[in-house]
Amino acid sequence: MESIVRRGSLSVAGIAWATALVLGVGVLGEDPALLLSDLVFPAVAIGAGAFIVLAAVGSQRPSRLAWSLLGVGVVLLGFGEAAWSVYEIVFEVEPPSPGWPDVFYLSAYPILIGGTLAIPRLARNGYQRGQQIIDLLVVVSGLAMLAWMTVLSPMFSQGSGSNLSQLLVGSAYPLGDIFLLVIISVVGTRRSLHIRDLSLWSVMAALAVMAVGDFLYLIELPSGTYLSGTWLDATWLVSYGLFAFSAYRLTLPAEVRREREGKLPMWHALVPVGVLMSINGLHLYRRVAAGESITIELILTVLGFLILGRLLLIVAEDRRLVEEDRKTLISIVSHELRTPLTAVDGYLDIVLGDWNGLADDDKRQMIAIAHEQARLVTRIVTDLVETSRDKLHSTKLRLELVDVGELMRQVIGQLEGGSRFQHLEPDCLVAGDRIRMTQILTNLFSNAERYGQDEQIVGVVRHDGTEIEIAVHDGGPGVPRQHRERIWEAFERGNHRFDASIPGSGLGLAIVRSLVDAHGGTAGYRESEILGGACFWVRLAGIPVEILQSRPVPALLLS
């Protein structure tokens, strides 16, 4: 069956295009050209549609229904051509309007539109669908204006002698072509399920050529300049040849596209604007031909081009920001993973380098620290994913009794370089997740080291009423007032946003606040009363020692 469809569809396409060439060049006289047109049109149209249906039935593609509908629509166009030929050859009269050709032609439009819409495509996100809807509204409005200016307005102004049915049928053709062109723009600006899908592009080109031919026919018909068997008929024959070629391509294997829908190409944004600009150009031409002034129209045209340039700049800027976001992601990973990986590498290097010289207790301690830091790396990777989904503040905690002062001492000991001092009050106990709190302290100290511009950093853990306050002070310039709330947002670096000399992603403080929120605490900023720079603080509910002495730890954590 496939071989029959391939040979038959290529034969139909060849006949259609050869006939189009003959009619377009005009080598035949009027009567032979008319006879050739009347004989070839029904044959190639019905043949192209039938081969599309046969190819769709034998295809393994998920678009069999869509292609079957397209084939049926083309066959109906062929029936319309056959009815037209019967009137001209058998009855030797012009086909009436409305008549049987109109019945077949107009019934083909909804089937062709339905088949085109049924073609599967890759899914798009909400923003892309919204952009597509707006583009469609622009294209529909523009094409409706074009149809009114070129076809409908002259038809109604000159149709005083026509009955209502003639006017309705006459206006149905341009409206059907408008819908076809809109559907073509929809399918043409979305990605097919298959890579290099020439069958899809062939049928879209066929529909576009057919619609353009219909518009040209309706423009020439009122003036009486249309003649059968001329170059205008050649456009429809080209369309039928493309339909037949799409049937041939449909029988060939197609590679399935496996990647998701990417960003829209730049030319997609120009399609609706190009439609409006073309209509505006036609309007200017008509006014100049009528000897009317076009000053205001020219000004509006210049403004339109300026707006178009502005839109293109916005698109280019959006793409630049996307590229910056990709680079930021790499910076985020390096920023969040550098400290724990450095600790893992350092301790394992010491253990492996002096295995026989180290005491067993030292080995166990170093391996335990390396293991804890490795777990921290795993948790950070999870946090990056949860931060992107805005779920970190609701993360599940593994509560245990944590001595915040002792934990800060361990964190300071694991950090490299610098002079770090600490003021740790005793018995600063909280119910918290040790790994999460280690991450909080590590981020606070890393932030102070990066932006403090000073070797001296002071960590303070103290009682503040019923709460435990953790504060990290630095001697840097501090944070300007306008950025003090914004710096807690993800990817926000305050006045260092464009400062490439200071590395950072702007994610550390966002993670701190989210984790503190998960612990039921608060986090904030104030000017350092110790070093005069920045002070980032965290407050968590403390556990008084007397309560700890009177209640078992498991019961305390459950309460």
- What CA–CA distance (Å, rounded) separates 172 from 144? 12
The length of the chain is 559
**What is the C-alpha separation between 353 and 358, in angstroms, rounded?**
10
Whether the Cβ atoms of residue 87 and residue 94 lie closer than 8 Å to each other? yes
- Gap between the Cα atoms of 509 and 496, Å rounded: 14
DSSP letter (8 states) at residue 264: P
Residue with tokens 């893992």: 344
Q: Pairing state of beta strands 467-474 and 456-464?
A: antiparallel
The confidence score (pLDDT) of residue 10 equals 95
Characterize the bridge pairing of strands 467-474 and 534-541: antiparallel
Which strands make up the sheet holding 522-527, listed edge to edge? 419-424, 456-464, 467-474, 534-541, 522-527
CA distance from start to end of the chain: 76
Q: Give me the pLDDT at residue 107, please.
A: 95
Closest C-alpha to 202, from 58, 54, 67, 18: 67
CA distance 221 to 231: 14
How many helices (H) does the chain have, and how many strands (E)? 17, 7
- Exposed/middle/buried for 139, CB within 10 Å: 0-12, 13-18, 19+? buried
Domains of the chain: 2-252 (1.20.1070), 389-558 (3.30.565.10)
pTM of the shown model: 0.55
Q: What is the pLDDT of residues 424-473, one digit of tens each?
A: 888 889 999 998 899 899 889 888 887 876 668 889 999 877 899 999 99
Of residues 370, 385, 379, 381, the one with CA closest to residue 398: 379
Exposed, middle or buried by CB within 10 Å (0-12, 13-18, 19+), for 259?
A: exposed
Q: What is the pLDDT of residue 252?
A: 86
**How far is 513 from 488, CA to CA, in rounded Å?**
7
Distance set, CA 450 to CA 70, 338, 422, 519 (Å): 64, 13, 18, 26
Q: Return all residues near 321 (Cβ < 8 A) that are at least 6 apart.
A: none
- Residue 501: exposed, middle, or buried by beta-carbon count in 10 A (0-12, 13-18, 19+)? exposed
> Percent of the chain beyond pLDDT 70?
70
Radius of gyration (C-alpha) of the chain in whole angstroms: 37
Return the structure tokens found at 351: 């253990």
Burial of 363 (0-12, 13-18, 19+ CB in 10 A): middle
Query: What was the pLDDT predicted at 407?
Result: 92
Residue 94 buriedness (CB in 10 A; 0-12 / 13-18 / 19+) = exposed
**Can you give the pLDDT at residue 500?**
46
What pLDDT is recorded for position 143? 65
pLDDT along the chain (559 residues), means of 10: 91 96 87 90 96 89 87 96 93 87 94 84 57 64 67 64 74 81 67 67 88 79 67 91 94 64 55 62 73 79 74 72 70 71 88 87 88 78 64 75 90 70 84 90 86 79 88 89 84 59 66 89 93 92 66 46
- Identify the bridge partners of residue 468 per DSSP, sorted by sequence position: 463, 540
